[in-house]
Amino acid sequence: MENQLTSYLTQLLDTSTNQKGLEWLNKQVEKINTEGAPSKFFLAFSQASRFFKKEKLNLTKEKLESANEFVSGFQPQHWDELQTARTVLMLSYPQEKEAWFAAMNQLFETADMHEHQALFAALPLMPFQKDLIPRAIDGLRTNISLVFDAIALNNPFPAQYFPEANWNQMVLKAIFMQRPLYRIQGLEERRNPALAAIARDFAHERWAAGRDVMPEIWRLVAPFMNEMYLEDLKKTLATKDEPQVLAALLTLRESAYLPGKELLETYPDQVATLDMDALAWERIGSEFQRTRV
Amino acid sequence: MYIDPHIHVVSRTTDDYEAMQKAGIVAVIEPAFWLGQPRTEVGSFKDYFSTLVGWERFRASQFGIVHYCTMGLNSKEANNEPLAEQVMELLPLYVGKEGVVAIGEIGYDDQTEAEDKFYRLQLELAKEVDLPVLIHTPHRDKRKGTIRSMDVSEEHGLDPKMVIVDHNNEETVKEVLDRGYYAGFTIYPHTKMGSERMVEIVKQYGPERIIVNSAADWGISDPLAVPKTADLMRKSGIPEEHIKLVTYQNALTAFGQSGQMDEQDWLNAAPLDQTKKMSGNSVLRGGQTPRVEGSSDFVEN
């Protein structure tokens, strides 16, 4: 499986403009495979930046679809060439558990920004995934958004493995850092009452400080709608700010809470124009990212 | 546009970064050095090196400044031999990283045997990974220490063009330039050079292979030393192309030999926009509005 995955990733890098890089990569892979000395691996991992650019991969539709066959939720359309090359190197390191962790721990602990990005985004492709949960949780303590995004966004790992408390901390930090929530995999499925309450507290804190609230956070409260949340949504509707209003209406539409439905009926025109949930939230989220100061 | 090719920005504030950016500094090089007191654990070195290629690089980028660094074991701390051995094992993990433009700052402090040993080992490392070398010349017994640094470097077969000898003064500059090295000058109040003396040196020796820096750190120093010195050169009638060479181009040429520093890094950088580019909480806490204009007299919400 690792070998198939490695050759799949290598194929993604096989463009006419980068034959030199590919040649270098193949040579390094062979060295790493046969020599087993971590120093060669570390050096190649760093020096990959000399051979590969941070340009997004150019994927065909077929290639994109087959990504999901390797790992459910794997989205290489968000990957760049450099991190792909680094992932090939990482997967080429002999996967004998103790030695593998010794090398990877050292790599994680000494990584620069883009190396961290590569490593964390590749968590769902790594072996021994359950043992990597603490590493992923620790990685989220970064204040570098590039690194945070590598774990939190377009990555199936957190939704699959994080205990509820850590999941909630990640989503809250994403809100705090104003990251696009619609890019968090499993966001809807892993909503929970505690997270809804945290999101509400956060909104109130923002309001108290005279600041706007990121509209996407209301998506977290829909399944737990009650009188309290309804008051928040009324306040959100009163902003008359379009993304805010749309977010509130989407939340009311998804919820089965009766007083909420009644409120929804007073906005027939806007409701008629709403997209399907996922699409509408994506629109709200990307619009917010585009326009925020 | 200026480059400050020697500044320890980990010890500077965000106000400094803002002022540097406004004064026209587009790129900085942060040489690995000591922290004002000796470290006692190898882990402190590891985290420091990681900061240089990680957080500090990111922090600088938020102010529109491209951050590079040099990696090395400084001469002061080379004197703790058991620790120095461990640091030497650590260095190969960092020298190949993005934005590492030289091995440095290395060389002599008290010119002890231990300093000599680790200086030589690092010259060999620089050769192995084909990186330039940044030499720190000693405060005390400077002239002899400077000459010895060059002698030893040549003994190890390094091309002078790959070596930047730093912290020069009127007593060292001639020999350093004559032997084909880049000569760094640190504009640092009281202990090293002042701007006026720097102007005289450029007048006397011309701009070739001369590099001006601030070496600003946690001491009384000036992160604007490079632009201030350039201004003084202008007022003193030094031609603009000479100013450009000593405050920008020579540093780029010398450290660019690493293959890790390219003008395009700042010429083609995304326009400075702290929030959009860097996203919310970073050096900007909780949706704080970035200050692009001058400081205001109240703390913004």
pLDDT digits (tens, 9 = 90+) for B169-189: 999 999 999 999 999 999 998
| Per-residue confidence (pLDDT) for residue A73, from 0 to 100 | 95
Residue window 187-216, chain A: list those with CB within 8 Å of chain B.
206, 209-211
pLDDT at A209 over 70: yes
In a domain, B87, yes or no: yes
Whether chain B has a CB inside 8 Å of the CB on A79: the answer is no
| Per-residue confidence (pLDDT) for residue A171, from 0 to 100 | 98
Q: Is the pTM of this model over 0.95?
A: no
In a domain, B122, yes or no: yes
In a domain, A102, yes or no: yes
| Per-residue confidence (pLDDT) for residue B288, from 0 to 100 | 54
In a domain, A77, yes or no: yes
End-to-end alpha carbon distance in chain A: 45
Residue scoring higher pLDDT (B277 or B8):
B8
| Per-residue confidence (pLDDT) for residue B273, from 0 to 100 | 47
Q: Coil, helix or strand for B25?
A: strand
Option in B92, B98, B279 nearest A49 (CB): B98
| Per-residue confidence (pLDDT) for residue B143, from 0 to 100 | 95
Which residues of chain A are within 8 Å of residue B90 when distances are taken between CB atoms? 110
Residue scoring higher pLDDT (B275 or A171):
A171
In a domain, B284, yes or no: no
pLDDT at A70 over 60: yes
In a domain, A172, yes or no: no
Say what the ipTM of the complex is. 0.82
Could you give the number of structural domains in chain B? Answer: 1
In a domain, A36, yes or no: yes
Question: Which of A110, A116, A206, A211 is the best residue to mutate to test the B interface, defined by the most B CB atoms within 10 Å of its own CB?
Answer: A110
Which residues of chain A are within 8 Å of residue B99 when distances are taken between CB atoms? 112
Which pLDDT tens digit goes with each residue over A145-155?
A: 999 999 999 99
Option in A43, A144, A210 nearest B301 (CB): A210
In a domain, A30, yes or no: yes
Beta-carbon separation of A110 and B50 below 8 A: yes
Which pLDDT tens digit goes with each residue over A211-236?
A: 999 999 999 999 999 999 999 999 99
CATH of the domain at B188: 3.20.20.140
Structural domain boundaries, residue A59: 1-127
In a domain, B287, yes or no: no
pLDDT at A158 over 90: yes
Q: Name the average pLDDT for chain B.
A: 91
| Per-residue confidence (pLDDT) for residue A151, from 0 to 100 | 98
Banded model confidence at residue A44, pLDDT cuts 50, 70, 90: very high
Residue window 37-76, chain A: list those with CB within 8 Å of chain B.
39, 42-43, 46-47, 49-50
Structural domain boundaries, residue B257: 2-275
Q: Which two tokens stand for residue A209?
A: 């400080």
Cis peptide bond N-terminal to A55, omega within 30: no
Summarize the confidence of residues B276-298 as an average pLDDT. 49
Which pLDDT tens digit goes with each residue over B91-118?
A: 999 999 999 999 999 999 999 999 999 9
Q: How far is CA B132 from CA A180, A242, B104, B115, B257, in A?
A: 42, 56, 9, 19, 7
* Per-residue 3-state assignment (H helix, E strand, C coil) for chain A: CHHHHHHHHHHHHCCHHHHHHHHHHHHHHHHHHHHCCHHHHHHHHHHHHHCCCCCECCCCHHHHHHHHHHCCCCCHHHCEHHHHHHHHHHHHCCCCHHHHHHHHHHHHHHCCHHHHHHHHHCHHHCCCHHHHHHHHHHHCCCCCHHHHHHHHCCCCHHHHHCCHHHHHHHHHHHHHCCCCHHHCCCCCCCCCHHHHHHHHHHHHHHHHCCCCCCHHHHHHCHHHCCHHHHHHHHHHHHCCCHHHHHHHHHHHHHCCCHHHHHHHHCCHHHHHHCCCHHHHHHHHHHHHHHHCC
Which residues of chain B are within 8 Å of residue A209 when distances are taken between CB atoms? 301
Q: Where are the alpha helices (DSSP H) in chain B?
A: 14-22, 42-53, 55-61, 81-90, 113-129, 142-155, 173-178, 195-205, 225-235, 240-244, 250-256, 264-267, 274-278
- Cα-flanking dihedrals φ and ψ of residue B3, to 5°? -120, 130
Could you give the number of structural domains in chain A? Answer: 1
Identify the closest residue of chain B to A106 by CA–CA distance. B93
Q: To which residue do tokens 């660019």 refer?
A: B256
Calculate how close chain B gets to A95, using CA atoms only, in Å. Answer: 21
Beta-carbon separation of B93 and A115 below 8 A: no
Size of interface A-B (CB pairs under 8 A): 78
Which residues of chain A are within 8 Å of residue B58 when distances are taken between CB atoms? 113, 144, 146
Option in A106, A114, A206 nearest B98 (CB): A114
Banded model confidence at residue A18, pLDDT cuts 50, 70, 90: confident
In a domain, A282, yes or no: no
In a domain, B282, yes or no: no
Banded model confidence at residue B291, pLDDT cuts 50, 70, 90: low
Quote the percentage of chain B above a pLDDT of 90.
86
pLDDT at A3 over 90: no
CA A99/CA A80 separation, integer angstroms: 28
**Residue type present at position A153:** L
In a domain, B291, yes or no: no
CA B4/CA A103 separation, integer angstroms: 36
| Per-residue confidence (pLDDT) for residue A37, from 0 to 100 | 79
Calculate how close chain A gets to B98, using CA atoms only, in Å. Answer: 7
Option in B96, B278, B280 nearest A46 (CB): B96
Whether chain B has a CB inside 8 Å of the CB on A116: the answer is yes
Which pLDDT tens digit goes with each residue over B110-143?
A: 999 999 999 999 999 999 999 999 999 999 999 9
| Alpha-carbon dihedral sign for residues A72, A77, A80, A84 | positive
pLDDT at B267 over 50: yes
Whether chain B has a CB inside 8 Å of the CB on A286: the answer is no
